């Protein structure tokens, strides 16, 4: 059961034009940077990308947008990206906005084999347009469908050769959900260890969801917005 690939180029060798890709990350935290760079190098076109957001103008998934590789984005947050704004307003990018919790649950449902669920979130708004609604427990609810992808690209902190994964802090938000809902889940890790080296109680995602794994390199780990408090006197 050897899931280890030498690099991103080998692990993403069969990503095709028109694929649906689930991309982990939250803001610029936990982005699968090596996978994104490889997709840009391959110049794969007409992609549908499902991700909490689309990076910034020149970082994260924003690189693929700027290259004209993305046909559709399914996201909950689309700020911080001027290219996204330009493409959307000009009709060159299809966008499906999805409330953040609903997006997370749609991905979780995809990985769990659940085809749909009802939620009160979005009822009475454009989010509910064209969707089935039902009164449940005294609340008006909207039917949302599971999300699955042809590929999932995921960043983990540490993993073993079978694909058991450990995430760090904010990167744990969407990466495990995307990993569980991909037909082919490709994981890049900062550290690859032997099977048995990870404490089972510390594993956040079991290997059953992972198909390919490789060690990433040259992580930039950019910060989306850096905010500091003004200095108010005293010693520097």
DSSP code, position 230: P
pLDDT tens-place string over residues 15-39: 999 999 999 998 888 999 999 999 9
pLDDT score of 81: 81
pLDDT tens-place string over residues 49-61: 999 988 887 888 9
pLDDT score of 54: 86
Residue 221 pLDDT class (50, 70, 90 cuts): confident
User: Is residue 122 scored above 50 in pLDDT?
Assistant: yes
The arithmetic mean of pLDDT across residues 83-87, rounded, is 88
Determine which helix (DSSP H) or strand (DSSP E) holds 49, and give its type and residue range. Answer: strand 47-50
pLDDT score of 236: 46
pLDDT score of 93: 93
User: Is residue 168 scored above 90 in pLDDT?
Assistant: yes
Q: Which is more confidently placed, 226 or 52? A: 52
CATH of domain 8-115+147-215: 3.40.1080.10
CB 159 within 8 A of CB 166: yes
pLDDT score of 27: 82
User: Is residue 224 scored above 90 in pLDDT?
Assistant: no
pLDDT score of 79: 75
Structure tokens at 51: 């991700």
CB 203 within 8 A of CB 166: yes
The arithmetic mean of pLDDT across residues 54-72, rounded, is 90
CA distance 42 to 40: 5
Q: Which is more confidently placed, 232 or 63? A: 63
State percent of the chain over pLDDT 70: 98
- What are φ and ψ of residue 189, in 5° steps? -130, 155
Strands in 5-148 per DSSP E: 20-23, 47-50, 70-75, 94-97, 116-119, 133-136, 139-145
Query: Domain coordinates of the chain in residue numbers?
Result: 8-115+147-215
pLDDT score of 22: 98
């Amino acid at each position: 059961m050897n899931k280890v690939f030498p690099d991103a180029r080998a692990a993403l060798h069969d990503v095709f034009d028109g694929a649906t890709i689930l991309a982990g990350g939250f803001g610029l935290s936990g982005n699968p940077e090596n996978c994104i760079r490889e997709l840009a190098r391959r110049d794969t076109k007409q992609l549908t990308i499902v991700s909490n957001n689309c990076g910034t103008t020149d970082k994260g998934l924003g690189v693929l947008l700027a290259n004209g590789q993305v046909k559709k984005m399914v996201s909950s947050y689309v700020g911080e990206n001027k290219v996204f704004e330009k493409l959307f307003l000009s009709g060159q990018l299809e966008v499906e906005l999805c409330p953040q919790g609903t997006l997370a649950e749609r991905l979780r449902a995809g990985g769990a084999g659940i085809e749909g669920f009802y939620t009160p979130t979005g009822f009475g708004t454009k989010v509910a347009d064209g969707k089935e609604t039902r009164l449940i427990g005294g609340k008006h609810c909207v039917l949302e469908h599971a999300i699955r992808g042809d590929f999932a690209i995921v960043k983990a902190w540490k993993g073993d050769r079978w694909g058991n994964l450990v995430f760090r802090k904010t990167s744990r938000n969407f990466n495990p959900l995307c990993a569980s809902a991909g037909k082919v889940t490709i994981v890049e890790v900062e550290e690859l260890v032997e099977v048995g080296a990870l404490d089972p109680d510390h594993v956040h995602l079991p290997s059953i969801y992972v198909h390919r794994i490789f060690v990433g390199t040259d992580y930039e780990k950019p910060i989306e917005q850096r905010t500091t408090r003004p200095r108010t006197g005293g010693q520097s």
